[in-house]
Amino acid sequence: MKNIILCFLLFLWVSLLSQAQTLDKKDYGMFNRLCVGASVSTKGIGLDVATCITPYFNLRFGLNFMPDISLSNKYVMFDSYPEEDYGKASASLKRTSAELLLDVGFGGSFHFTGGLEFGSAEILKIDGHPGVWWGGESVDYLGDYVIIENYRLPLDSHKNLRATMKTSSVRPYLGIGFSRTIPKKHLGFGVELGAHFLGKVKMLDYNGNEVEKTDVDEEYEDEDEDYSAMSYLIKMCRGGIYPVIKFRLSGRIF
């Protein structure tokens, strides 16, 4: 992770030096051109400000707000008595992040993007509780753990499921965009495809202890498949690469 960040900073420094001689102070330079943008993406709702540095380099600073959109599934509480009982759990990507991006263009409506995202280390939150059938009876006979995507997650004293997935709070980003960062005229629209590199992702239980991925016994494999919706989010985060698809509307101020 540190090597990727250092390589990006070195790339930024060399690129700016290489373009310094082509700088036309009348048209280009920091804050000589400015635009604002609004976007919808797999990172949520975004707002950004962009300015030119040279004819081929633009700098963007933005904020992204992921709303509390959850995917829910039932889960099995193993070791319940006299038989396994069920609860309901949801996984949420809700978070707020900031980003600093450098767009490298070639005079047309296409650019490469590199940058960094800054935000909370928590990228996924899992919450669950006994099902509505429970009716407030004693929880002593309910199970002590659940298995989701080969993670054996313990339940708290009230048999609630609480877990998080965490990674670095600074995450490199690479992407390609099909638009001008700063439109020639007043308005512009573009699409950006990219990915955040999360590095090592940890699953933590309700006590903050790391839970390692383990093998699942054959007798539990069917139950583990019940988490199809949450499994998609867990697999995506665990893979270390968070895909980004962004639709951006921009307006040039000057």
Tokens linked to 193: 């495809």
82 cis-preceded (ω within 30 degrees of 0): yes
In this predicted structure, the answer to whether residue 25 has a pLDDT above a threshold of 50 is: no
pLDDT of residue 83: 53
Structure tokens at 66: 């992921």
Average the pLDDT over each of 39-53, 54-68, 139-153, 182-196 and give the range with the smallest value: 139-153
Per DSSP, the three-state class of 208 is coil
Residue-range domain boundaries for the chain? 2-252
Q: Which amino acid is at 37?
A: G
Tell me the Ramachandran region of residue 225: left when phi exceeds 0, alpha when psi lies from -120 to 50, beta otherwise. alpha
Beta carbons within 10 angstroms of residue 166's beta carbon: 20
The larger pLDDT score, comparing residue 111 to residue 23, is at 111
pLDDT higher at 108 or 51: 51
pLDDT at 32: 80
Region for 145 from its dihedrals, namely left if φ exceeds 0, alpha if ψ lies in -120 to 50, beta otherwise:
beta
SS3 222: helix
What are the strands, taking DSSP E only, across 93-240?
A: 95-105, 111-119, 122-130, 145-148, 151-154, 161-166, 170-178, 187-197, 202-204
Q: Position 202: which residue type?
A: K
Model pLDDT, residue 184: 84
For residue 227, is pLDDT > 70? no
The candidate with the shortest Cα–Cα distance to 159, out of 248, 87, 72, is: 87
Mean pLDDT, rounded, for 50-63: 90
Q: Which helix (H) or strand (E) holds 229?
A: helix 228-238
Name residues whose C-beta falls within 8 Å of residue 247's C-beta, 6 or more positions apart in sequence.
Answer: 39, 40, 41, 189, 190, 191
Mean pLDDT of the chain: 79
pLDDT at position 35:
93
Min mean pLDDT across 29-33, 77-81, 119-123 is at: 77-81
Backbone angles phi, psi at 191, to 5 degrees: -125, 140
CA 195, chain centre distance (Å) = 9
Is 70 exceeded by the pLDDT of residue 205?
yes
* CATH class entry, domain 2-252: mainly beta
pLDDT in tens, 105-115: 876 788 999 99
